[in-house]
Amino acid sequence: MEKVLIVKKMGMSQIFDEKGKLTPVTVLQALPNTVIESKTVEKHGYSAIQLGAGERKAKNVSKAVCGHVRHAGLESNPPAKIKEFRLNADSELAPGAKIDVSTFTEGEFIDATGTMKGRGFQGVVKRYNFAGGRYSHGGGWKRKPGSIGQCEYPGRVNKGKKMPGQMGNVTRTIQNLQIVKVSLDDNLLCVKGAVPGPQGGTIYISAAKKK
């Protein structure tokens, strides 16, 4: 069974083991995952599997998407999220097959990908933890970045300079997160540590690549 899944971030909690040791965990709830398409090396040139999760009204989805998910029997309630995962070998799952948390076991490691919470346009103090200027004796630049350029040479601002700008709303992947607990009854995964994305956000998990 392919170790890939589309899940929902429920929030953070903590688990105590038999010796009383506390482990901070992120609780992930597996959405109803359905195989939409399995891509093979012979037909498509690479191995991958497309999963769909959640539901949307058919009237709010384009005809192209409805036609794409018809082979999986989802044209009446198209998935809200569609994600393609690369695989090392061709998948044996046919369109319409279901995947849940039973594919994962406690103790194994996964990679989690999510979109960070957007924080809008922010200054350097919040964005990069700059100290800013002094608050006494007429400092005059409490939360400003200070000097950003040079003199005659090179006479410009270097690329990559830390300056105010858009903060958050970017995709990040955290690797080698260990699964502490698997709850089959509630379709929950408890993963050690933090996972990118806000509470209620969609997370894509797969087997760890570099562990």
Q: What is the 3-state secondary structure (H, E, C) of the chain?
A: CCCEEEEEEEEEEEEECCCCCEEEEEEEEECCEEEEEEECHHHHCCCEEEEEECCCCHHHCCHHHHHHCHHHCCCCCCCCEEEEEECCCCCCCCCCCEECHHHCCCCCEEEEEEECCCCEEECHHHHHCCCCCCCCCCCCCCCCCCCCCCCCCCCCCCCCCCCCEEECCCEEEEEEEEEEEEECCCCEEEEECCCCCCCCCEEEEEECCCC
Dist. CA 17–CA 20, nearest whole Å: 5
Q: Is the pLDDT of residue 139 over 90?
A: no
What percent of the chain clears pLDDT 70, i.e. is strictly above it? 100
What percent of the chain clears pLDDT 90, i.e. is strictly above it? 68
Domain with CATH 2.40.30.10 in the chain: 4-118+172-207
Question: What pLDDT, on a 0 to 100 scale, did the predictor assign at position 32?
Answer: 83
pLDDT band for position 134 (cuts 50, 70, 90) = confident
pLDDT tens digit string along 32-67? 899 999 999 999 999 999 999 988 898 899 999 999
Residue 17 backbone zone (phi > 0: left; psi -120 to 50: alpha; other: beta): beta
* Statement: the pTM of the whole predicted model exceeds 0.85: yes
What's domain 4-118+172-207's superfamily in CATH? Answer: Translation factors (2.40.30.10)
- Residue 84 burial (C-beta neighbours within 10 Å; 0-12, 13-18, 19+): middle
Q: Is the pLDDT of residue 11 over 80?
A: yes
